[in-house]
Structure 1
Amino acid sequence: MYAWPASEVPALPGEGRDLQIHDTATQGTITLDPGPVARIYVCGITPYDATHMGHAATYNAFDLVQRVWLDTKRQVHYVQNVTDVDDPLLERAIRDGHDWTELAERETALFREDMTALRMLPPQHYIGAVEAIPGIVPLVERLRDAGAAYELEGDVYFSVEADPHFGEVSNLDAEAMRLLSAERGGDPDRPGKKNPLDPMLWMSAREGEPSWDGGTLGRGRPGWHIECVAIALDHLGMGFDVQGGGSDLAFPHHEMGASHAQALTGEYPFAKAYVHAGMVALNGEKMSKSKGNLVFVSKLRRDGVDPAAIRLALLSHHYRADWEWTDAVLEEAQQRLGRWRAAVSRPDGPYADDLVEEIREALANDLDAPAALLAVDRWAALQESDGGTDEGAPGLVSRAVDALLGVAL
């Protein structure tokens, strides 16, 4: 599977700062110290309703992580998956009378278009669950043969007891885990499981549903969590720098994925930091496909909204915050974009080297994009009121906003 084209990231004078970021597992701020190549895995979409504003906010957060690392002169090895076979996708295809593969391909193509328009840097490896199945099957077999997994009526489940570190990603108690498992694709009430929280690794073939050769597992398809584990281990290995996604992935997805990988390898941790973006609401409720209360990037683009304004609307909220999309949020972003573009269009302006350092400092402090926006606002206000004599300032500001915030002026 291919990703989308990369926009050029302008080079800036000086060098960026190491990123301090909130880690869900330790529940505190840690300083990331990657080697020359920083490694990040961000969980991708299930392609049946893309790209809503919640998606965009999440991928914007991890685009900022990449940009901070690139500014430190590191390379970035970024991997993202596409869950192109799963119950919600199949259910939507049946509901709408579509072939599930065509639905997945169409929505994935739309997602690529939206990511390109928003200037999100693409992953080096963009892998679908279906194409990962040949690598998933041996991992499930290994877990089963090692006693870390068991069969139940043809299905294969992972035993959470196999990982002594289970629970250390989300830090939830057993009851909270059970409730979330039921809400987020698990089956804690299925009779015969060793532990209600045990997640499925391999689902045996169901009549009328797609299935693949699973070797000694029989025909079927992979569970959700092992998909990302197989892709991450193949392309990044253990101990990569950041596992990212929305806050609703901390449990069960990231918790289970970490345990799968740790049981498979005997190594710890799966990822050095677990970073989660907040949820975006509409009309007082979290945007979700099940509720249908979605604002789509593609719809805004068709209505003539500049993608740079959409990106500024996302950046105006801290990535970990839960917030609500409103017309006022978009209007403020459009006005800000207009002010910034007017400011950098003049032949000279106020000295801007300090502004670049302010943006760097804000982003290095747990991706504080709102603080970075305010710093640019202050420069633009000076430009409007007093102007300046530095001929290179407008160009430097334009390059910095592009390189660090992903906004083309």
Structure 2
Amino acid sequence: MLKVFNTLTRQKEVFTPITSGIVKMYVCGPTVYNYIHIGNARSAIAFDTIRRYFEYKGYHVQYVSNFTDVDDKMIKAAKEAHTTVPAIADRFIAEFMKDTTALNIEPATKHPRATENIKDIIEFIQDLIAKGYGYESEGDVYYRARKFAHYGQLSHQNIDDLEVGASQHTDPEEMSRKEDPVDFALWKAAKGDEISWDSPWGKGRPGWHIECSVMSTKYLGDTFDIHGGGQDLTFPHHENEIAQSEAKTGQKFANYWLHNGFVTVGDENEKMSKSLGNFVTVHDILKTVDPQVLRFFMATTQYRRPIQYTQGNLDDASNNLKRLQTAFNNLNYRLKDAESGSDPKIEQEIRQIEADFVDQMDDDFNVQNAITQVYELAKLGNVYAERPVVFKDSLSFIIKTLSELVNIFGIEFKQETLNDDGIEALINERLAARKNRNFERSDEIREQLKAQGIVLEDTPQGTRWHRDDEKGNV
């Protein structure tokens, strides 16, 4: 029975989808004015892992994740680059897809852009005005937060306390246009020649929060199963989404709210931020780090926990991933001399390990405990592969189960094959040298292959090889 921690209720709840066999999930995507940073990647990886687990359990997942392609940051970036907002958006959406593809993050079922939904946004705002939740002021449109009875329920904050904070952080000019400091923008009047669209309130553009309310309900319905995003979005973004959406539809917005933890950097455990100078983009990281290692590192930390991004932790992930790859290689290597048939005892052990894995994942996607079951499966596979006699069906069963479980973490094992006739010839020559007790030549060939990135392993079943991947540095 799968349970998830619902931020709204602050407790674990049994997950029950609105429609049997289908999960409707919306996850806030990036503002595309730059390369994504590792905080963005953490959220994308966490929810991709959750999505993959749902799929493993047989659900069809309707996964929507937006691109914010117009806001103050976009306008500033376009001005600095002497180009247009759409050009900036197109460039960094392409870079986002490139980085996430490298991290083996499945594309969303739908990746809507705010600028593609302006008509729907305007109609949504008009509806809020008609219901008394929205009001126009000098070309801007604001939402009356205090009118929504449950405002603050997601972040568990009192609206009077929020008023004090809003008063301290809102500039005097905008404050003069608001009825109340806690009110927030639904539509912003255009300034000068910045990008804008015609509306009943004059030229302008949507506020940040309204776009997610519009796109989530447009593609998933007035009420859907899961809304996800980073902890930093709980307030004000997700709080405002609830207020807007439920005021318009009169329905519960999302049944479960899931929020991933922050990324901290270095041994001092500092939260990543531009102001501290520890801001790292995935684009730069992947120049030196194997994307599979980065993916495995982040996917194997429970989504609500913070991730400490250090060289040591990355090295640990790299070593653990190599252990799994080695087990996969060992099992595949033994297929060539395996006997027909199966070993019922081994297959029962495999099923028990998989059942234990599911038990852990069903506890709010507890990947840190679940991955230990994968290591147990790899250990079982290694021990079985060393037996003098092994059975093909049992080997295939371990390989299939191991591959399916690591795929939930976004990992795909590499099928290693030698295409270079020269390398193949060197391996065969070394085997002949060892047979003739010419160990000097055998060692020379080992070092020659090592220089080409080929590592040899002499096992009781014969000599195996794998490519040595040197990537893995922060």
2:247 to 256, 263, 280: 263
Distance in 2 between the 1:288 and 1:186 partners?
A: 22
Q: How do 1:8-407 residues align onto structure 2 when only pairs under 5 Å count?
A: 18-34=1-17, 35=19, 36-174=21-159, 177-178=162-163, 190-214=175-199, 216-267=200-251, 269-283=252-266, 284-289=269-274, 291-303=276-288, 305-347=289-331, 351=347, 352-384=350-382, 387=385, 389=390, 390-407=394-411
Tell me: CA distance 1:142–1:104, structure 2 relative to 1, closer, same or farther (3 Å): same
Shift of 1:155: 0.5
Quick one: distance in 2 between partners of 1:290 and 1:101?
27
Q: Secondary structure at the match of 1:245?
A: strand
Q: What is the TM-score with the length of structure 1 in the denominator?
A: 0.88
Residues 1:358 and 1:297: Cα distance change in structure 2 (over 3 Å): farther
* CA drift at 1:186: 6.5
Identify if the C-alpha distance between structure 1 residues 176 and 286 changes in structure 2 by more than 3 Å, giving closer, same or farther: farther
Instruction: Name the amino acid aligned to 1:359.
Output: F
Aligned equivalents of 1:240 and 1:372: distance in 2? 27
Q: Provide the alpha-carbon RMSD of the alignment.
A: 2.4
Q: Aligned with 1:131: secondary structure?
A: helix
Partner Cα separation in structure 2 for residue 72 and residue 380 of structure 1: 21
Distance 1:124 1:394 in 2: 31
Please state how far the C-alpha of 1:321 moved relative to its aligned partner.
Answer: 1.2
Report how far residue 57 of structure 1 moved: 1.1
- Counterpart-to-counterpart distance in 2, 1:136 and 1:325: 38
State the one-letter code of the partner of 2:399: G
Letter of the structure 2 residue corresponding to residue 278 of structure 1: G
Determine helix, strand or coil for the equivalent of 1:376. helix
Greater Cα offset, 137-146 or 251-260: 137-146
Q: 2:110 and 2:23 mapped to 1: Cα distance?
A: 14
| SS, match of residue 264 in structure 2 | strand
Q: Which has the higher contact order (CA 8 A, sep 6+)?
A: 1
Whether the 8 Å contact between 1:187 and 1:196 is mirrored in structure 2 is: no
* SS of residue paired to 1:44: coil
Give the whole-Å Cα distance in 1 for the aligned partners of 2:208 and 2:298.
Answer: 28
**TM superposition shift of 1:195:** 2.3
Shift, 1:60, TM fit:
1.5
Going from structure 1 to structure 2, the CA distance change for 1:272 and 1:123 (only over 3 Å counts) comes to same
Gaps of 5+ in 1: 1-17
Give the match's secondary structure for 1:221.
Answer: strand
Q: TM (normalized to structure 2)?
A: 0.76
- More moved, 155-164 vs 257-266: 155-164
| Gap change, CA 1:137 and 1:396, over 3 Å in 2 | same
Give the AA of the match of 1:273.
Y
**Separation in 1, partners of 2:311, 2:122:** 47
| Deviation per residue, 1:171-197 (Å, 9 max, x gap) | 1223664577689x9769713422211
CA distance in 2, matches of 1:137, 1:200: 13
Pair 1:75–1:382, CA change in 2 (3 A): closer
Task: Describe the superposition over 1:135-178 as per-residue Cα deviations: whole angstroms up to 9, x where unpaired.
Answer: 10011111112211112222100011332222211112236645
Percent identity over the alignment?
32
Shift of 1:101: 2.4
Is there any run of 5+ residues in structure 2 with no aligned partner, and where? 336-345, 414-474
Q: Measure the CA separation in 2 of the matches of 1:104 and 1:289.
A: 21
**Secondary structure in 2 aligned to 1:114?**
helix
Greater radius of gyration (CA): 2
**8 Å contact kept, 2:29–2:65:** yes
SS at match of 1:373: helix
Shift of 1:398: 3.4
